Structure 1
């Protein structure tokens, strides 16, 4: 009896320790998330940062104006204007990957790709490639130290993050000034154009500091999660060649890919992508099974009950996207990669409002979700129509969830160029070695 009592006390102590640890973890995580946004902004920035607003003032008059701005930035017309530029950035990147003699680290390269997309397309900056590469390295240093504890000591992560932000803002200020001086030859309005023009229309002309802060936040929003999803997309196409071939069949049926194999010439449009139903299913399944972000925080506005538990007004709560996708009763065989679950015959995501929420849900759903899905669809189309790629390791790497979902070794893949019939073209050195003398 004595031993049983000791075991019970030990078990209760362990449970209490676990609850305390989880509580502390949630509190620290939320505080670091808020500090992360404070670290992106200069102290002189005049835009308010209400608690829990993800850095954007989404309340009051200013919030209403910003929501209008973002509705323009991610509108159908804006996405159509971004599309050709996004496709060019992706095509240039895939050509570079295919010309590389060795396997590439996909996660690292997709980070460069999404950073370049944000700079070239979303912000419309004409930064030389060499400067862009340096800016990317500084940006990575900034991102790696964003969640550091706010201890401002020499060689601390916080100090490195602040120094990286200062260098970034100098580079961004230079790019912004050059952009403001050179207004000729623009064939579309990018996100920064829309932000600047909208602020003038509402009598809120933004200072240079506010422009730099807004620019940095736009880059951050378009960077890590999109790189994570892009890596997961490539990994699943490698794992499931039948899915890749079915995707190619749809591209042929829609006239995007010739029956002989080579991609058709012409402009890719939003209405064309909207007809690619299987492509949409593939992207949805990638985002269901490999959601980049595990969840999010919300503040309780009104006391409510959930499964018999009362949640008081004012509490901070966290919802889990991954757990929701794993436990939602509408999904069958939840661990299986099966794009057809989203097809018209099954439509597993149509039963219920909050079973599938890779971009969050409700009024606080991700504002840039349509741009993210557009980027992933264009990447999938270009991968299916212009690329051949092989896993460069014996097995697929395991996945880590911190800070966003990604393979632990970055996913090593060898890409090949293609001839007009979509046959692999070996790099010049390999072709010479394999040639018959």
Structure 2
């Protein structure tokens, strides 16, 4: 997915920097033979690919045991995990999922839920550090919806949101009415997907972060039939790599693609809608990321929490250099100081 799902036809994506030591022991990788000089042997990228494939095999082995239990009906009715939801959703639609499909979806969820989302979250903080004017505009939107820091409960623009919150609290016994609840209103109140969906500018900010720094730089597709592209013949069965990052940087649909400009996704411009595949942080077509809406919701919630409760500044002398493989991340990390509002 753009947050993690490309390349299943082409096999394991790599090279993954999975480390050595305990991972080598877990995957059964033999140690360097005696007499072989340090530094000799397979190239780092080949070793990374080998470790990635073996790691996938270990994951699949554990998942097969879980899947067999699920398919045998040995699952709790009270506590449901991701496998349970996938199975019940398929059953509700009169479909069934094979063990192989379940394994692939589970691996996809693991990487989508961790590495790629962590990458996008880091990029979000980095871009907000670089663009204070965007921070101020996003905070203004939060205040307009009664979600900003130090936002009084009686503020006119937030009255409807406050009424919605009170109504929800009245109808939900588990959410106790206390003075602490009212004091908490100044930061982030009870949040619903509906209320999160009203934050259109914040949505544009998240989209622009994913355009400038897509967590996954590209993906693979298998050619189902021979075709021609710009005078080049692509034979049936070939694995074709497409570049998400290059597409975002060169697509004619985007004005000044090198600039960080969330307004390009606003209703006045809607640049990404000019061409179906000009904006593909989650891939495209029927194989696009199944978790894209969840990923956007996570990023918007993180942004809302930070914007409404903290300020932050760079803790290093300069902004870090970004590395694009295996996922986009700052070399040596992003060092930030946070201060509560």
Answer whether TM exceeds 0.5 for this pair: yes
State the Cα distance separating 1:233 from its structure 2 match.
0.1
State the Cα distance separating 1:391 from its structure 2 match.
0.8
Q: How far apart are the structure 2 equivalents of 1:328 and 1:225?
A: 23
Paired residue for 2:140? 249
Q: Identify which of 335, 338, 345 aligns with 2:258.
A: 335
Q: 3-state SS of the aligned residue for 1:310?
A: strand
| Residues 299 and 317 in structure 1, CA contact (< 8 A), matched pair in contact too | yes
Matched, 1:222 2:145: no
TM-aligned CA distance change 1:335 to 1:205, over 3 Å: closer
Paired residue for 1:85? none
Paired residue for 1:298? 221
Paired residue for 1:389? 312
1:36-435 paired onto structure 2 within 5 Å:
152-154=29-31, 158=50, 162=54, 183-184=77-78, 190-198=81-89, 215-257=106-148, 260=151, 263=186, 266-416=189-339, 418=340, 422=341
1:121-167 CA distance string (max 9 Å, x none): xxxxxxxxxxxxxxxxxx9759x979xxx994236765798589759
TM-aligned CA distance change 1:297 to 1:246, over 3 Å: same
Q: How far apart are the structure 2 equivalents of 1:368 and 1:303?
A: 31
TM-score, normalised via structure 2 length: 0.67
State the Cα distance separating 1:394 from its structure 2 match.
1.4
Q: How far apart are the structure 2 equivalents of 1:347 and 1:211?
A: 36
1:86-131 CA distance string (max 9 Å, x none): xxxxxxxxxxxxxxxxxxxxxxxxxxxxxxxxxxxxxxxxxxxxxx
State the Cα distance separating 1:340 from its structure 2 match.
1.1
TM-aligned CA distance change 1:289 to 1:190, over 3 Å: same
For CA contacts below 8 A with separation 6 or more, give which structure has more relative contact order: 2
TM-aligned CA distance change 1:161 to 1:387, over 3 Å: farther
State the Cα distance separating 1:361 from its structure 2 match.
1.0
Q: How far apart are the structure 1 equivalents of 2:55 and 2:238?
A: 35
Q: Which runs of 5+ in 2 are unaligned?
A: 1-6, 33-46, 153-184
| Residues 60 and 103 in structure 2, CA contact (< 8 A), matched pair in contact too | no
Q: How far apart are the structure 2 equivalents of 1:310 and 1:299?
A: 14
| Residues 237 and 243 in structure 1, CA contact (< 8 A), matched pair in contact too | yes
| Residues 390 and 413 in structure 1, CA contact (< 8 A), matched pair in contact too | yes
| Residues 141 and 164 in structure 1, CA contact (< 8 A), matched pair in contact too | no
| Residues 145 and 160 in structure 1, CA contact (< 8 A), matched pair in contact too | no
Q: 3-state SS of the aligned residue for 1:305?
A: strand
Q: How far apart are the structure 1 equivalents of 2:63 and 2:287?
A: 31
Q: How far apart are the structure 2 equivalents of 1:167 and 1:293?
A: 21
Higher helix share: 1
Q: How far apart are the structure 2 equivalents of 1:205 and 1:299?
A: 22
Q: Which runs of 5+ in 1 are unaligned?
A: 1-29, 38-138, 423-437
